Structure formats: structure tokens, C-alpha cells
Amino acid sequence: MTSTVAFLGPAGTFTEAALVAFENMGAVSDVTQLPVNSPSEAFQAVREGRADFACVAIENSVDGAVTTTFDAFTEGEALQVYQEVDLEVAFAIMVKKGISLDDVSTIATHPVAYQQVRGWLAENIPDVKFQPASSNGAAAELVARGEVDAAAAPERAAEIFDLDVVASSVADVQGATTRFVLVGAPGKPTPRTGTDRTSVVFTVPHEPGSLASILQEFAYRNLDMLRIESRPTRKKFGTYRFFVDLAGHIEDDPVAEALRALWLRTDDLRFIGSWPAAGQTGPQLDTTEFDNATAWVARVREGR
């Protein structure tokens, strides 16, 4: 079955490489690529039915959360994550043919990518001026059009836009990775694997201790909170949405019970998804104490 997948284009971005990885792992098949200019546009394509899925970056091991992706989750109707993949990220510095590194005075790349190469640039092209691009592939396209001297992008972008690579494997932190997610319309979550991630976003009452009391719901159930991010609601100054990742799947009773408690305590709760964690050893959920407590309640109910 053909799937149309929106991704941060043009061709030659790490997001396109993630899309290929999702296809190779069987998460999508017979893909028709729909390049767009932002995570917001990718999500909108899904909401409008122009795409079946969106492939977007959500977190980087160097620069942290990709805030434009987090914001896109709350810009319209609810969408859901079904898979994730981690890609090691290193960049090539590319220029038009006949240009050397000494000739470079301007460089373009995505702002997130810039945070991963700025040390290398300071050491090798200390006076270079940075120009943000909507994507790394778009940065390479700017070089091809003669609008900047160089781009930091995946090496494949040099092939696509007929550019010369003057430096390879550029990364301030070797082994840096970016996590990408495959997002679609709400549906039945990806089946539980035992090494899963569950994500929600919520707002809380504007009262002292409201967030702390909500986070206690996870602690009571011995749930590992893998990440918490806050983003402005854009409605009233000083109000925030909180994104939380938990170890476990909504099919795990402790996770389901915690989410039920959040539904009662939060002003607005949105389920982002439960899906397999990337890597060989994902987060583990120990339900021993929870299961013992459940068994104790069952015995009491039966008079044992």
C-alpha cells in the first residue's frame, strides 16, 4: 500500500534519510515523498489528508528538543506518533565547484545543525557569517543558486546539487544523534514491545503546586519520566504546555492508570502516542510493585 509521507525538504536532508530508515524497517511502504518547509507544514499535510504520515525531527543529543516540532503537535487536531528512529548525524561542508574553503565567507544550514558545527566553523572559518536555512537540503540549494558560499548538510546533498565537498564528517560532538518520529492521524497505538515510550502533552491549573502534584502521579506508580519540556501556550503570558515522555506503553497498567489520573487533574490532556523506543536497549518498565499492589487489592476484595 502506497503511503504519502511529508518531510522537511528538499531532498538531501537528514529527515529524508530518516524517512528511508522508516521505510527500511517496514513502518511505511511504497513511499511517495512530499517535501515541505517545516514540521508545521508536514503536520498540516496529514491533518488535511494530503499525506498519510509526517516524518519530523523531535530531539537532538546536542541541542535538545526541536521546538518547532513540539509546537506543531498543538497547532491543530491531535496527531499521533507511531515509530521513532535515531540517526547519527555528521555534516559535509559543500561549495560550488572550483571554490575552496579559503573563499568561504557565508555558510547556510538549519539552525539546529548550526549548533552542531559551530565549534568546527570557529576553528576552520572563524570569520564566516551564518545564514539560517529551512533545512540542510535547502542550504545546499542556496549554494547551488549562488546565494551563499557554503552549506553544512548531509553528503548526499552535494550529489543532488552537484557541489564539491571540502570537509567531511564534521560534528563538534562525535556520535551525536537526532531522533525522528513518524506521525499520523490518531489510531490504535503501535503494539507493545516491552521497551516502549509513551508521550502526552497537557496544561495544568494555574495554582500553586499543580504541576508538582501531577508529576507525583508518575512517582506513585514508579514510572520513569524520560523527558519533560515546556512550551508557551501562546494564549496568555506565563501559561505553558508540558510535554512528558514516560517509559512504558499505554497497555501497561501503571501507565494507563497514571494517564487516567492526569485526565482528572489537568486542564487539557492530549495523547501523543505509545511506540517502540529506538535502539537495542530501550527504557524498561518495572511493574513488580504495581502488580503486587493490584494482587493485594484483589485478595481484599475476595476476602482473602
Q: Tell me the CA distances in angstroms from 107 to 36, 94, 110, 165, one per residue in order.
A: 22, 9, 10, 13
pLDDT tens-place string over residues 65-123 = 999 999 999 999 999 999 999 999 889 999 999 999 999 999 999 998 999 999 999 99
CA 29 → CA 2, 11, 113, 134, 185, distances in Å?
A: 6, 18, 28, 27, 17
Domains of the chain, CATH where assigned? 1-88+177-187 (3.40.190.10), 91-170 (3.40.190.10), 188-304 (3.30.70.260)
Q: In what order do the strands lie in the sheet with 129-132?
A: 129-132, 106-109, 150-153, 91-95, 164-170
Residue found under cell 548531509:
154
Q: Is the pLDDT of residue 204 over 70?
A: yes
> Average pLDDT of the chain?
93
Dihedral Cα 170, 86, 70, 210, nearest 10 deg? -120
pLDDT of residue 219: 93
DSSP 277: P
Residue-by-residue DSSP string for 113-146: HHHHHHHHHHHHSTTPEEEE-SSHHHHHHHHHTT
Cβ-Cβ contacts under 8 Å for 41 (sequence gap 6 or more): 6
Least confident of 23-37, 58-72, 290-304: 290-304
pLDDT at 1: 64
Q: How far apart are the first and last CA of the chain?
A: 54
Cβ contact 120:170 at 8 Å: yes
Tens digits of residue pLDDT in 28-54: 999 999 999 999 999 999 999 999 999
Note whether 144 and 96 are within 8 A (CB). yes
Q: If pLDDT is split at 50, 70 and 90, which confidence band does 282 have?
A: low
> What one-letter code names the amino acid at 171?
A
For 149-180, how does the pLDDT look when each residue is reduced to its tens digit (9 = 90+)? 999 999 999 999 999 999 999 999 888 899 99
In whole angstroms, what is the distance from residue 62 CA to residue 219 CA?
28
**Confidence tier at 234 by pLDDT (50, 70, 90):** confident
